[in-house]
Amino acid sequence: GNSVTQMEGPVTLSEEAFLTINCTYTATGYPSLFWYVQYPGEGLQLLLKATKADDKGSNKGFEATYRKETTSFHLEKGSVQVSDSAVYFCAPQSSSNYKLTFGKGTLLTVNP
Amino acid sequence: EAGVTQSPTHLIKTRGQQATLRCSPISGHTSVYWYQQALGLGLQFLLWYDEGEERNRGNFPPRFSGRQFPNYSSELNVNALELEDSALYLCASSWASRNTEAFFGQGTRLTVV
C-alpha cells in the first residue's frame, strides 16, 4: 500500500516568513496527492490537490507541485500569516482502491 | 448540503466499558473512513468501509470494530476500553473514485477514565 513521510514538526516561523513542509510518498500506480489542514479545535479540511505529474495545486497562497520523478509533494507559501497556524497533513490517494493515506502531520506555529 | 456529522461530540467512559461512535456521511458518498488522533500524534488509520463492506483495516486490535449500514452511515465500536484509547476519533466520507477529496466531520472526543 501507499506510505507517506512528512517533515517532522513543530515548525515555528515569524509572520511573512517563507514556509516549506516536505512530503514524500511511496505508491504503486499513479496516486492523486492532497494536502489537508486542521485548524485548532476543528476537523480536517482540504487545502489543495494535484492529480497528475507536474500539476500544481494552489489555495490561500499555498502551493504544491506533483513531482513524480522524486515522488514528492512539498507544500510552500511565500509569506505566512498568524492565521496559518495549524497542523498540515500530506495524503496520497491510491489509484487502485482510492484509499487515502495520511502523513503524521506537521504543526505550524506562526508568531506575530 | 449537510456535511459529515459525528455523534456524540464528547464521550466519557470508564475503563473496561464499550463505546459506540456514529458517523453520517455526506449524501451520495459511499466510502467512510475512521481515524484515531491521539494527543500529540498524527492520524492513525482505523477502518475503511465502502458499499457496506470493510475494505481495509489499520493496525489496531480486534476490540476496535465497526460497520456500515445500507444508508452508508457508519458505527465504530470500541470494546474493553483502555486509558490509551482516549483520543479524537475522526470520520471522513468520500465517493470511491479517483481524484475525489475526503470530507471530515468534527470528530468525537472520547475520554476513558
Contact B42 A105 (CB under 8 A): yes
Distance CA B97, CA B55 (A): 14
How far does A81 lie from chain B, in Å, by closest CA?
23
How many CB pairs lie under 8 A apart between chains A and B? 55
With the C-alpha atoms ordered A76, A79, A81, A83, is the resulting torsion angle positive or negative? negative
In the predicted model, is pLDDT for residue B11 greater than 70? yes
What's the pLDDT score for residue A5? 92
Are B5 and B66 in contact by the 8 Å Cβ rule? The answer is no
What's the pLDDT score for residue B1? 63
Q: What is the chain B residue with the closest CA to A106?
A: B42
What's the pLDDT score for residue B84? 95
Contact B43 A42 (CB under 8 A): no
What's the pLDDT score for residue A8? 81
A10-60 tens-digit pLDDT:
999 999 999 999 999 998 788 999 999 999 888 899 999 999 999 999 999
Are B87 and B37 in contact by the 8 Å Cβ rule? The answer is yes
Give whole-number Cα distances, B42 to A53, A55, B77, B90, in Å: 27, 27, 21, 12
Cell numbers at residue A25, please? 510518498
Are A47 and A37 in contact by the 8 Å Cβ rule? The answer is yes
What's the pLDDT score for residue B41? 66
Distance CA A50, CA A73 (A): 9
Are B43 and B87 in contact by the 8 Å Cβ rule? The answer is no
What's the pLDDT score for residue A62? 98
What's the pLDDT score for residue A96? 78
Probe site for chain A from B43, B48, B51 (most A CB atoms < 10 A): B43
B17-30 tens-digit pLDDT:
999 999 999 999 99
3-state helix, strand, coil in chain A (%, to 5): 5, 50, 45
B40-73 tens-digit pLDDT:
667 888 999 999 999 989 999 999 999 999 999 9
Q: Judging by DSSP bridges, how do beta strands A106-111 and A86-93 pair with one another?
A: antiparallel
- The residues that bridge with A100 in the sheet, in sequence order, are A93
How far does B105 lie from chain A, in Å, by closest CA?
6
Distance CA A75, CA A60 (A): 12
Contact B55 A99 (CB under 8 A): yes
In the predicted model, is pLDDT for residue B98 greater than 70? no
Containing A14, the helix (H) or strand (E) segment is strand A11-14
How far does A72 lie from chain B, in Å, by closest CA?
17
The pLDDT of A70-79, averaged and rounded, is 97
In chain B, residues with a C-beta closer than 8 Å to the C-beta of A92 are none
B69-96 tens-digit pLDDT:
999 999 999 999 999 999 999 999 998 7
Short-list B93, B50, B71, B70, CA closest to A97: B50
In chain A, residues with a C-beta closer than 8 Å to the C-beta of B105 are 43
